[in-house]
A and B are shown apart, each in its own frame.
Chain A
Amino acid sequence: MKRPGLGTALAVVAFLTFFLGPFFWQVLTSLWPDGELTRPWPSHLTVENYASVLWGRPFLRVVANSLLVAALTTLFCLTMGAAAAFALAKLEFRGRGLLLSAALAVSMFPPIATVSPLYLILRAVGLRDSLIGLALPYATFALPLTLWVLTSFFRQLPDELYRAARVDGCTPFQAFRRVLLPLAAPGLATTAILVFIFAWNEFLYALTFLSTPEKRTVPVAISLFASEYREPWGEIAAASVVATLPLVVLTVLFQRRIVSGLTAGAVKE
């Protein structure tokens, strides 16, 4: 490894400061005593903001809501997406290219374009103000993502595996279930992480469809976080840290997978 020059070192420091600085500032704000926010520097650090967010507000409930919606979306999209992605990667049928392009097109839809009809549909079937109902429109962005990432994973598995299973008497479906699906486990994990993060972060549908405060998801709750007389910056920061720390840990741990998943569909095509 060549010793990095001064330019490289400066560039690394600049990028690190820009990308991590605001996040650390948020962490510091969350530990800042509430009465001292007007001061340039805290006299001591405290966890009182965390205490009031976790015990004084229904925030744990909100986190549970988000977990539920994100987990449901992930399960729902992976179940359907894995079967479809296998067929797209390994089977011959008409409309394969069309389906993949359609999925890509759908993922580029501005969500606002479908909000008004989805609102009316969900209201008509009694699922508007419901966390389960929210997982359905989440398929608009999550299913195309699943299809693209998983199809590229299934394509990487050798065709011989599939043919051998067929020669051994498996139907295409059995070949999928018994042979290819277990081998695609790393791909499924990558996709699950990506879909989970996207669903956890979604805002517009959750804001529009959920009206009961107890049903809010994390982004909606944080956007509406307020107290009567002024913005509770310390509490907002604490809630933000609670809501993002799991994601940050997940991202740092599975960095390689996330990067390969994000760029799989995009670049190899």
Chain B
Amino acid sequence: MKGGGSLERERRQAYLLVAPAVLVLLGVALYPILAAVWLSLHRFILVFGERRLTGLDNYAFLLSDARFWAALGNTAYFTLVAVTVEVLLAVPLALLLNRAFPGRGLLRASVLVPWAIPTVVSARLWAWMFNPEYGVINRLLPGNDINWLGAPGYALHAAILVDVWKTTPFVALLVLAGLQGIPEDLYKAARVDGASAWRAFRSITLPLLKPALLLALLFRSLDAFRVFDAIYVLTEGGPANTTETLSIYAYKTLMRSGDFGYGSALSVATFLCVVLLAVVWLRLLGREEGAR
């Protein structure tokens, strides 16, 4: 490197190069979040133009709003079940994709198909398959007339299935990248020592895969928690609000009722839940790093 002046210049140019991106991030992310917090302290009905500061009233109402707690419960249940199933399916899929067999390229390309399809389209596609009278699912299950999207108890699980279909491939790819980072020698050594395939999986693959798995869990649970598209298209939160998630409830309050004050409070609450979830996961990941 040259003298101090050159380094100084390099630093100046670095700031110039990142400045546009930083400004845009501030403008589309940081400012709106702060503005949402500010809006949530108001009574603000868009169509009436009514807007006045009411302090924490919206949050006081939120804590006693049974519909909010139900939405939080639905969101948590959706996230927990969807992400668990996705990981349980993704690990065998990744193990399969990591092996050499004829048609591996085909399988790898085809698992990306659900990932590439817009969520709205995949929800519509499944809605047709779930159709109680003519849908292929009820036709394949003879003597069955379950109203998948119309019956409480079924609808949320139908939404989970759609999410599993769409995002398991992504999880599998993350797991696969983790698998490819495990040195082949370890397996050779295990075979020489006479370890069974199951033993090798438990003692080599799983422990070394843990960081990749935790990372996939982190990404997926934060992503599942904000679920909107699939449920909006499948059920709009129905029947009887049994599939209403936080994002759906906030959206309806904002855009259907035009209540920007309480709607913003719901949005901020969703945001805080995601932050909390992220902090918990990052702690777990940090402990994992520390243990190694």
Contact = CB atoms under 8 A, between A and B. Distances in A.
A264 B137 CA distance: 38
A203 B129 contact: no
Contacts of A244: 116-118, 121
Interface of B: 1-2, 6-7, 9-11, 13-18, 20-22, 24-25, 27-29, 31-33, 35-36, 39, 92-93, 96, 99-103, 105-122, 124-126, 128-129, 131, 133-134, 136, 139, 165, 168-170, 173-174, 176-178, 181, 212, 215, 219, 222-223, 225-226, 228-229, 232-233, 246-247, 250-251, 254-255, 260, 263-264, 267-268, 270-271, 274, 278
A112 B247 contact: yes
A116 B116 contact: no
A106 B102 CA distance: 41
Given A22-B129, A25-B125, A117-B39, A88 B120 contact: no
10 contacts: A1-B101, A80-B24, A83-B18, A93-B14, A112-B228, A113-B267, A163-B1, A220-B120, A244-B118, A250-B116
A139 interface: yes
Contacts of B22: 84, 99
Given A16-B110, A29-B128, A222-B121, A92 B270 contact: no
Question: In the complex, which range does the number of interface residues on chain A fall in?
Answer: 35 or more
Interface stretch (A51-59, A169-177, A183-191): A169-177
A242 to B, nearest CB: 10
A111 B11 contact: no
A137 B125 contact: no
A91 B11 CA distance: 7
A118 B100 CA distance: 49
B20 A208 contact: no
Contacts, number: 282
A93 B22 CA distance: 14
A114 B178 CA distance: 33
Contacts of A37: 134
Given A22-B122, A116-B264, 18 more contacts: A11-B96, A12-B107, A18-B165, A22-B125, A25-B125, A102-B25, A108-B222, A109-B29, A114-B29, A136-B28, A208-B254, A219-B229, A222-B124, A244-B117, A251-B109, A262-B170, A263-B177, A267-B177
B173 A236 contact: no
Most buried by B among A18, A25, A116: A116
A36 to B, nearest CB: 10
Contact of A40 (B28, B93, B139, B226): B139
B20 A8 contact: no
B8 to A, nearest CB: 11
